[in-house]
């Protein structure tokens, strides 16, 4: 799934927010730069690097969100060749908002992990907790629906890449 790569089980993730940050950065598609969207209203921080799968279009009209497990945070704009493990299911004010959980191919501390069940269970709970509360003080509702395995994850990635290639818009136009 990475451009020029025959391995269909990897994706290219662009980091927007490094692990440990309270700043919510976003990639500005028009200006092709990273911009500060806001500082999180709650005293919480991102539990891992957060960004998006390149050349994808999720159901919310944005690129498909991705989380990358790393020992050290990277930086906004960093591209990481990543191996998907599973997917966190949630929805927010824009509709469905899946998060693909990945490990970096080039990180020997994480790249041995092959599936979601190998990720430390407490780390999965931390990620779920973060996304269940990070918008509370903004008075925005979030619903979480747990984790999904690799089969469903790969289908979601493939569908989002197909939408992107076809130039489709979000099926939720009121959120664009």
Domain residue limits, the chain: 11-162
Assigned CATH topology for domain 11-162: Inorganic Pyrophosphatase (3.90.80)
* pLDDT of 4 above 70: no
pLDDT band at 8 (very low <50, low <70, confident <90, very high): low
Buried b (16+ CB within 10 A) or exposed e, 101-118: bbbbbebeebeebeebee
Mean pLDDT (the chain) is 89
- List pLDDT tens digits, range 130-144: 988 888 788 888 888
Reported pTM: 0.88
Q: Which of helix, strand or coil describes residue 127?
A: helix
Question: What distance in Å separates the CA atoms of residue 69 and residue 93, rounded to the nearest whole number?
Answer: 26
pLDDT of residue 92: 81
């Amino acid at each position: 799934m990475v451009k020029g790569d025959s391995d269909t089980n990897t994706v290219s993730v662009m980091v927007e927010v490094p692990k440990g940050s309270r700043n919510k950065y976003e990639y500005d598609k028009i200006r092709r730069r990273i911009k500060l969207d806001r500082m999180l209203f709650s005293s919480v921080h991102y539990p891992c690097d957060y960004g998006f799968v390149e050349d994808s279009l999720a159901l919310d009209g944005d690129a498909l969100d991705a989380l990358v497990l790393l020992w050290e945070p990277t930086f906004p704009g960093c591209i990481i060749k990543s191996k998907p493990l599973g997917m966190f299911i949630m929805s927010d004010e824009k509709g469905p908002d899946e998060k693909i959980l990945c490990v970096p191919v080039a990180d020997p501390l994480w790249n041995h992990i092959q599936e979601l069940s190998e990720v430390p269970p407490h780390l999965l709970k931390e990620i779920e907790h973060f996304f269940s509360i990070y918008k509370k003080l903004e008075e925005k509702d979030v619903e979480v629906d747990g984790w999904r395995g690799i089969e469903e994850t790969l289908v979601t990635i493939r569908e989002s890449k197909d939408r992107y290639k076809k130039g489709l818009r979000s099926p939720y136009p009121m959120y664009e």
